[in-house]
Each structure stands twice: as structure tokens, then as C-alpha cells.
Chain A
């Protein structure tokens, strides 16, 4: 592995690219292996999976990740046999491939994190691959190829190292030039080895009239005085040894040795260090006892494979793309964010200046605003990726779990191509996994139970994504039994999440599953009960500025809706004034704003005020109290109430002095510099250069109860339930 070492250090800089590429390959692999669960792969699918293993192997070799090389080598060999039809696809082989894909992913991760995997980590799957290949008649060929290859390798090494005389006869075949081979280069290379005498053999040269200028007619006899080995000479002719007749004779002291036959030379490459690199991995892969085999064992039966690969794939050409490091894009996003702020400031200043001068708005100002907005949208689009990468993991999960639980479930997916910010995509995987687990474990009935209530034996889980307004909505719905409200309520009471005498609406009970520490499974199973509950899911979703809603119908099923912002970097905000402070409310949560009539206002207790609108009582939150803002409007009837939606479909009314205006807000995180501030999700810089805080509505709803009474009210109404979360 010596040359691995040297190439490793020279190529170290490409490690990052390699792992990025691996991750792309693995995601793609997952898609194909997922398809494999449903049906056998077609030639194109097999080719794609083969290429995945192949690409990883090539890179892994360059960086000296031997475990990865060994494994991909076997994996690839199996795929090769599959795609040229030597082994038939079967459910068992599909299973081996799928598990192999998992192992491959783990090996890549281990390599990336520079940690060792257990010595026997790959052993079971390698054994299974070997077994499968054996059944397909692969192992015999493998063994014979390995054995055949060993012979000449040892024979080539016995050359003495002193100065020698070599006589080399080169008789090119007529087609030498068809491979763009230039004999002059061979002669020069030979000359580089020592003192060379060249004699040209032009016997075969025809008359000019008969000569085909594209064919080769000349031959040569070389006498070389050199300390080089036979192998060095063979190396010169490496690329032509199949189209030329080459005799290499050691004529030192005029005692010619037996010439090496072409067949022998053919078997092993002449780039010695490179070939011997690949040999040990082949040896390991086949557990042949480490005997270096110059030709990798599986190479023996490759010809049809090459033909299969030669068939042009009918796939449409991939969109051309470049890969850019994420932090460069982040820098771009930040810079554009600054530009947006500067533009807003400039716009405000110029507006005031124009007013002062009594003139029309200054030329170019609007164009600048439009261009800035467009630039921002372009930059944001760079970070967008289809949710497919997350969705692709789910069929696997459904299959594994339903198999484990003996349930029959069909997963339907739609909208996989909906695009979301890359950061958000990464944050979606865990919540989605958990929700689907939950549906399978808790929601879906056993096949027999389904039949008993007149449902089809096979349950259906639907996973969909779509753009709705400025959000993306991802929904997970099942046609299972729905939330067992009786049980949920009982559990919640047992755990003290709600008082024992609480009377809750169906919707409020459904919401309880998001309460911290809530788990309905009577026994903690290894499926849903992994120490995370739906509360963690909700927290994760809220962490990326999203919301989660649940609706459930007994015996008809449950639906979870995730509302997620398209991007984390900007939001459409409403600037509101409270005293001399400015706050931002996300436009997406605002339902309406109005100035209530004093008759619409009621006090629930001395601190909790409600506003009645269209027959609905809605709790009021006063920012001036919460954040202790002086000189703010205290009476809702003299200011404005902004009605906002909270996760789960509840509403609260936020009292503000006035609405200042709507604006694209560039979110600046506070977390780098401050501990989390309750009720505040971030900050932004306004056109006038002042900082405005972005309100976290979910937290405001929680804070209200604590601030207003310091403890839960004795009789918690529906509102206090939201607070209890």
C-alpha cells in the first residue's frame, strides 16, 4: 500500500470533495435500493448502483480507506454479476444489497470521522455476498482467476540486478496506429533505460502504390545495455503488448534466456506498484489468505458486464451543476442580507430627503429595491433542495417497521420535488421519521383488526409535500385507528399533565400528545419509545420556525401537518410599534388585526383579558407588560389587537400601539451572543439602522401564563393548556 500513502498525502485536499460526493452517491443509492424493495432493478438501476459502489471504491483507494475499498470491491463484484445476468435478482439478494448499502454508508461515515469500525463489522455481510456469488457460480471463477494470476507474478521477480544486454524484437501489428500509438515514443522510452541500438526492419513495407498510410508496416530490433529488469522493458510496451509481437531476450554473455510468452505478460499489469495495491484488497475481499493476486479475482467474468455498460443509458442528461462549499453560500446569503438592510436604510433616507426637498422619489431608488429583492431571491434559491432526499429514507422505514410489527402498510408519497432550504431539509429527517414510526406503531391496526372493522387489510400512510403561500406543508396521514382519546386523556391525567377533573375538547386531547414527557405506549417499545416523544418533534419543528398540527378521527386515521418556512434566512415580517420599541411579527402567523370595541373585551380573572370576535373568545397578550415597555398603549381598545395563530391551531391576540409596515426581514441570530431570550426568536436591523426583535409567538403564548399569574390558574381553561405545553 506504499503508493496509497504517497497519493494520500498529495490528494489530501480532495478529501472534502470525496465525502461530499460519497454523500450524494449514498443518497442516490438509497433511492435505488428503495426501489429494489418494490421490484427488481432494471439494467439502468443496476448500473447506477454499480457505479455508486465503483466511484466510492476509486476514491477510497486514493485516500487509503482500505476497509471501504475491500467492502465496495465485494459489493461491486456482486452487482457486476447481477447486471450481466450471472446471478438472478431475488428477494434475498435485494435484502443483502440493502443491508450492504447500510454498511457502506456506515463505512463512509467512519472513514469521514476517522474512526475505526469493529474488525468483524463487515464480515457477516461479506460472507453473505460470497455465498450468494458462490451460488451464482462466481466463486469458482474467482478462485481460478486468483490462482492463475499468481504464477507469473512470482516468476517475474527473479531477475538479477547487474548490467545486462537485452535484445528486443518489436513487430507491431498492422493496426498499431488505430490506438494512436506512436512507436517513436516507445523507442525514446526504451532509450531512457540505457544505451540503445535500433535497427529497423522494413521487410514488410509494400510498394507505395499498395501502401495503406493508416497501417503499420515497420518492425524493430533493439539492443539495450542496461541495469533494468525485464519488467522495466515490459512496462515500456505495456500498452502495445496485445497488438504487437514483442520478444525480450536477455543476451548477456550471449546466453539467451527463454522468452516470456505474451500470454503470461498479459495477465498482470506493468504498473507494478499500482497493481500490487489492488491485489491485497482483492485478496482480503475473498478471504484468500492474503496471497497477492495481480488481477482482482472478480475480473475473470467481466466481459458481458463491459458490454452491458456499453449500452448507452437513455437517461436524460443531468442538469449541469457545480459544487460549492456551504460556508461560501452562507457568506453570500449574509452579504446579501446586509445589502437588503443597507438598501432599506438608503431607501428610507432618500425618501425623507425627497420629502424634504418636495421632489419625486430619487431616480433609480425603486429599481434598486427591485433588484435587491431579486438578488436576494436568487441567492436563496441556491440553497434550495428537493425534499426527496429525506422522503427517500421513509419507504425503508415503513418496510422495516411494518415487517417487525406484522402490519401491512403501503406508503404513498407525493411532492418529493418540492424544494426547501438545505438546512431545513436536514432538520426534517428526525421529526418525519418519528412521526411515521408513531403512525405505524400507534395509529395503524393489525391486519386482522382492520378487516374486522371493514377496512382493507393493507393500511396506507401518505407522505406529501407542497408549497402553500410562503410555507411548505408536509403532511403525514394514515388511515389507522386515529388517536385513542380516552387513553391519551387518562395518561395525561396520570402523569399530571392535566388536572384529573379537566374537561377537554377532542382537539385539546389530540394536542396532548405533544406535551413533554407524554408517551401513550403502555410498554416502551423499541419502535416509538426511544426516549423522544412528539414533544421533541414539535420542538424540532418549532426550532426551524415551523409549526405542527394534528387532526384525528376515530377509526378513520390521523393527519399531521408540518408548516415550515421556505428558508431560515429571511421572513416576511410585520413591524409593530409598542411604546418606542419596534417588534417583528412573522406575516405567516398573522390572521388579522383590528381595534376592538370596549364591549368586546372581558376579564377572565384579574390578569387574563379576553377579546370576543365573531363569537370566539381569544386571549390577549400585552407586550408592554411582558417586556416592560414604558409609555405603551395599555388598553386594547385604544391600540390594536393583532390576531396570530399558534401551533396547533389556537389563536392569541397581541396588543400593539400601531402597525408600522410590512417588510422582508433578514434574520440575525441572537444565539451567538446571548442566552436564549424568552419570547424572542431573533433580531433584525430596520431601515433606520435600529434593531428590532422578532417575536416568537409560540413562546409568547407560554410566557403569558407564567407572567400573568406566576403559576397555573386554578381552573385551567383551554388557553392554559397551550401554556402547559
Chain B
């Protein structure tokens, strides 16, 4: 069965890029526009990896990570956060919330895949 990923980003360009890359690697890709939307998309289903932006309206990425980690079914789901800079505090707050890793924007497709493969066998 194809692996499933959820990309969470308020920028459609970014979602498209992530989806395009992962679909090319055989993933099935779900999309959400912000944390709130992601939680509703994930109602009643699970995914193999979540890739989320940090800065989003309604619910930001760090809160989303916390919310997901509080749910038993997402405790061991790898979650990657997207940052535009190597901002240590962003990574740190993401880590503290329970994120598995991070990807720095802008990313090349092969880099994204490498990171996803790193946390999602």
C-alpha cells in the first residue's frame, strides 16, 4: 500500500511542491492549509508522515505538532517541520513540541525526499 503523507502549509505553492515531490516517489499526499485544517483532515485517518509549515494562520505548526502528539494514534507518526531559515529557536520549539525533524526552505526535491526517507522508512 502506498505510503501517505500530509502536507500542511498556507502557501499553495509550497503544498504543490511537496505534493509533487512525494507523489513522484509513490506517496499518496493529503493537503491542509493550516493546523486547524490538518486536524480535521486527519480525523478518522492516519498518515505515515506529516510535513508542516510553522507560520500559518488559525493554528501554527508548533501547536499542530503538540496537538498531534497528544493523540495516541499520532504519537509515533514522524512529523517534519518546514522552516525558511536555520532558525535554531524554531527548530527547538518544534522539537520541544515533538517534531521528529525539519526541512529548510527552499528545498530541492531530492533533499525533501532524503529527509522524508530518513524518518519514514
Residues in chain A within 8 A of chain B (CB atoms): 3-4, 6-7, 10-11, 13-14, 17-18, 20-21, 47-48, 50-51, 54-55, 57-59, 61-62, 177-182, 185, 188-189, 238-239, 242-243, 266-269, 271, 273-275, 277-278, 282, 294-296, 298-299, 302-303, 305-307, 309-310, 312-313, 315, 317-318, 320, 323
* Cross-chain pairs A/B with CB under 8 angstroms, 5 sampled: A54-B84, A274-B108, A310-B62, A310-B63, A313-B58
**Chain A proximity mask over B30-48: 1 for CB below 8 Å, otherwise 0:** 0001001100000000000
Q: Could you tell me if A312 and B121 are in contact, using CB atoms closer than 8 angstroms?
A: no
Taking the complex as formed, is B8 at the interface, i.e. its CB lies under 8 A from any CB of chain A? no
B residues 84-115 touching A (CB-CB < 8 Å): 84-90, 92-93, 95, 98-111, 115
B residues 52-89 touching A (CB-CB < 8 Å): 54-60, 62-63, 69, 75-79, 82, 84-89
Chain B residues lying within 8 Å of A313, measured Cβ to Cβ, are 57-59
Q: Could you tell me if A14 and B56 are in contact, using CB atoms closer than 8 angstroms?
A: no
Q: Give the complex CA separation of A40 and B55 in angstroms.
A: 21
Chain B residues lying within 8 Å of A188, measured Cβ to Cβ, are 121
Chain A residues lying within 8 Å of B119, measured Cβ to Cβ, are 180-182, 185, 239
Q: Could you tell me if B55 and A50 are in contact, using CB atoms closer than 8 angstroms?
A: yes
Q: A278-B104, A302-B89 given. 5 additional CB < 8 A pairs?
A: A55-B55, A242-B95, A274-B108, A275-B86, A312-B60
Min CB–CB distance A297 → chain B (angstroms): 9
Q: Give the complex CA separation of A566 and B28 in angstroms.
A: 42
Q: Could you tell me if A312 and B99 are in contact, using CB atoms closer than 8 angstroms?
A: no
Chain A residues lying within 8 Å of B82, measured Cβ to Cβ, are 58
Min CB–CB distance A217 → chain B (angstroms): 17
Q: Could you tell me if A51 and B55 are in contact, using CB atoms closer than 8 angstroms?
A: yes
Chain A residues lying within 8 Å of B99, measured Cβ to Cβ, are 179
Chain B residues lying within 8 Å of A277, measured Cβ to Cβ, are 104, 106
Task: Give the residue name and chain of the B residue nearest to A19 (CB).
Answer: B13
Q: Which of B69, B102, B105 contacts A178 (CB 8 A)?
A: B69
Q: Could you tell me if A21 and B11 are in contact, using CB atoms closer than 8 angstroms?
A: yes
Q: Could you tell me if A21 and B63 are in contact, using CB atoms closer than 8 angstroms?
A: no
Chain A residues lying within 8 Å of B58, measured Cβ to Cβ, are 312-313, 315, 317-318
Given contacts A312-B58, A313-B57, A315-B58, whether A59 and B11 have CB atoms under 8 Å apart is yes
Min CB–CB distance B74 → chain A (angstroms): 8
**Chain A proximity mask over B4-29: 1 for CB below 8 Å, otherwise 0:** 00000011111011001100000000
Q: Could you tell me if B104 and A309 are in contact, using CB atoms closer than 8 angstroms?
A: no
Given contacts A7-B106, A239-B102, A302-B87, whether A59 and B13 have CB atoms under 8 Å apart is yes
Chain A residues lying within 8 Å of B77, measured Cβ to Cβ, are 180
Q: Could you tell me if B86 and A278 are in contact, using CB atoms closer than 8 angstroms?
A: yes
Given contacts A59-B13, A278-B85, A313-B58, whether A238 and B101 have CB atoms under 8 Å apart is yes
Chain B residues lying within 8 Å of A181, measured Cβ to Cβ, are 100, 119
Q: Give the complex CA separation of A647 and B111 in angstroms.
A: 62
Q: Could you tell me if B13 and A62 are in contact, using CB atoms closer than 8 angstroms?
A: yes
Q: Give the complex CA separation of A430 and B56 in angstroms.
A: 34
Chain B residues lying within 8 Å of A320, measured Cβ to Cβ, are 33, 37
Task: Give the residue name and chain of the B residue nearest to A299 (CB).
Answer: B87
Chain B residues lying within 8 Å of A182, measured Cβ to Cβ, are 76, 78, 119, 121
Chain A residues lying within 8 Å of B10, measured Cβ to Cβ, are 51, 55
Q: Could you tell me if B57 and A58 are in contact, using CB atoms closer than 8 angstroms?
A: no
Task: Give the residue name and chain of the A residue nearest to B109 (CB).
Answer: A10
Q: Could you tell me if B85 and A6 are in contact, using CB atoms closer than 8 angstroms?
A: no
Chain B residues lying within 8 Å of A179, measured Cβ to Cβ, are 95, 98-100
Chain A residues lying within 8 Å of B69, measured Cβ to Cβ, are 178
Q: Could you tell me if B59 and A299 are in contact, using CB atoms closer than 8 angstroms?
A: no
Most chain A CB within 10 A, of B13, B88, B95, B105, is at B13
Q: Could you tell me if A48 and B88 are in contact, using CB atoms closer than 8 angstroms?
A: no
Min CB–CB distance A446 → chain B (angstroms): 44
Q: Could you tell me if B17 and A11 are in contact, using CB atoms closer than 8 angstroms?
A: yes
Q: Could you tell me if B17 and A302 are in contact, using CB atoms closer than 8 angstroms?
A: no
Q: Give the complex CA separation of A635 and B58 in angstroms.
A: 69
Given contacts A239-B101, A318-B33, A318-B57, whether A177 and B11 have CB atoms under 8 Å apart is no
Chain B residues lying within 8 Å of A4, measured Cβ to Cβ, are 106, 108
Question: Which 6 residue pairs across A and B have the least CB separation, nearest first?
Answer: A61-B106, A239-B101, A7-B108, A62-B106, A299-B87, A296-B85
Chain A residues lying within 8 Å of B101, measured Cβ to Cβ, are 238-239
Min CB–CB distance A624 → chain B (angstroms): 56
Q: Could you tell me if A51 and B109 are in contact, using CB atoms closer than 8 angstroms?
A: no
Q: Could you tell me if A274 and B100 are in contact, using CB atoms closer than 8 angstroms?
A: no
Q: Could you tell me if B100 and A273 are in contact, using CB atoms closer than 8 angstroms?
A: no
Q: Which of A21, A54, A307, A312 contacts B13 (CB 8 A)?
A: A21
Chain B residues lying within 8 Å of A11, measured Cβ to Cβ, are 17, 20, 109
Task: Give the residue name and chain of the A residue nearest to B80 (CB).
Answer: A239
Given contacts A54-B84, A271-B104, A315-B57, whether A299 and B115 have CB atoms under 8 Å apart is no
Task: Give the residue name and chain of the A residue nearest to B40 (CB).
Answer: A317
Q: Give the complex CA separation of A48 and B34 in angstroms.
A: 13
Q: Could you tell me if B59 and A312 are in contact, using CB atoms closer than 8 angstroms?
A: yes
Q: Could you tell me if A303 and B89 are in contact, using CB atoms closer than 8 angstroms?
A: yes
Q: Give the complex CA separation of A59 and B11 in angstroms.
A: 9
Min CB–CB distance A245 → chain B (angstroms): 16
Chain A residues lying within 8 Å of B79, measured Cβ to Cβ, are 180
Min CB–CB distance A173 → chain B (angstroms): 11
Q: Give the complex CA separation of A47 and B10 in angstroms.
A: 13
Q: Could you tell me if A14 and B20 are in contact, using CB atoms closer than 8 angstroms?
A: yes
Q: Which of B20, B33, B78, B106 contacts A58 (CB 8 A)?
A: B106
Task: Give the residue name and chain of the A residue nearest to B112 (CB).
Answer: A7
Given contacts A17-B12, A317-B58, whether A61 and B93 have CB atoms under 8 Å apart is no
Chain A residues lying within 8 Å of B20, measured Cβ to Cβ, are 11, 13-14
Min CB–CB distance A320 → chain B (angstroms): 8
Q: Give the complex CA separation of A315 and B79 in angstroms.
A: 26
Q: Give the complex CA separation of A105 and B63 in angstroms.
A: 31
Chain B residues lying within 8 Å of A312, measured Cβ to Cβ, are 58-60, 63
Min CB–CB distance B95 → chain A (angstroms): 6
Min CB–CB distance A294 → chain B (angstroms): 6
Task: Give the residue name and chain of the A residue nearest to B68 (CB).
Answer: A180
Q: Give the complex CA separation of A103 and B79 in angstroms.
A: 36
Task: Give the residue name and chain of the A residue nearest to B78 (CB).
Answer: A180
Chain B residues lying within 8 Å of A296, measured Cβ to Cβ, are 85-87
Q: Which of A14, A59, A268 contacts B86 (CB 8 A)?
A: A268
Min CB–CB distance B81 → chain A (angstroms): 10
Q: Give the complex CA separation of A315 and B60 in angstroms.
A: 13
Q: Could you tell me if A269 and B104 are in contact, using CB atoms closer than 8 angstroms?
A: yes
Q: Could you tell me if B76 and A180 are in contact, using CB atoms closer than 8 angstroms?
A: yes
Chain B residues lying within 8 Å of A6, measured Cβ to Cβ, are 108-110
